Amino acid sequence: MISTVSTHHVGTTMNRAKQSWASSEATRASMRANKGRDTKPELALRRAVYALGLRYRVSRRPVKSIRRTADLVFMGAKVAVFLDGCFWHGCPTHHTAAATNADYWQRKLQTNRARDAETNRLLEAEGWQVIRIWEHEDTDEAATRVAAAVRTRRGPSRQAAPQETGPK
Ligand SMILES: [Zn+2]
């Protein structure tokens, strides 16, 4: 199970938002349109985690009955990784209140954060470890954090999956 590599399509990333967080309404609109699809930070994180020898599923529900999709899912170790966009999830460093429609954006942000907290609670109640990574975080550091959590939960007797081909 742990050696499964998702065949999730990574070939259609050309028109993704180039900036890692929103700096204008246009960018926000673009990010909104791209929500839930492969973003550059997601691809970078996947590659870095893959390079550390870990295999994972992409954009899956960790628990079928819980309608929440994690970005990287380690079924055996029960580790779910969410890569959170700085704007949509309220990164303390990069989230700045929008000048226009401030009430709307503030409500939206509060809704997202409440949902994130609920997702954590629901999955943790099922025995999962949830790791949240801001999209501005250093990719290699984040990947190292993920790998440490996965290997700790697998225990010392479980070996990492053998290297296969490159990330798909
Ligand atoms: Zn940020």
The stretch 138-164 carries a mean pLDDT of 81
Task: For residue range 95-127, list pLDDT tens digits in order.
Answer: 776 677 888 888 989 999 999 999 999 999 999
Task: For residue range 1-47, list pLDDT tens digits in order.
Answer: 444 444 343 333 333 333 344 455 555 555 554 455 678 899 999 99
How much distance in Å is there from the Cα of 92 to the middle of ligand 1?
7
How much distance in Å is there from the Cα of 139 to the middle of ligand 1?
13
For residues 79 and 49, give the distance between their C-alpha atoms in angstroms, rounded to a whole number: 13
- Please tell me the pTM assigned to this model: 0.71
How much distance in Å is there from the Cα of 89 to the middle of ligand 1?
9
How much distance in Å is there from the Cα of 47 to the middle of ligand 1?
20
Q: Write down all domains in the chain, each with its CATH number in brackets.
A: 39-154 (3.40.960.10)
How much distance in Å is there from the Cα of 107 to the middle of ligand 1?
19
Supply the DSSP string of 104-164, one letter for each residue: HHHHHHHHHHHHHHHHHHHHHHTT-EEEEEETTS-HHHHHHHHHHHHHHHH-TTPPPPPP-
Reduce the DSSP state of residue 12 to 3 states and report it. coil
How much distance in Å is there from the Cα of 37 to the middle of ligand 1?
19
How much distance in Å is there from the Cα of 164 to the middle of ligand 1?
33
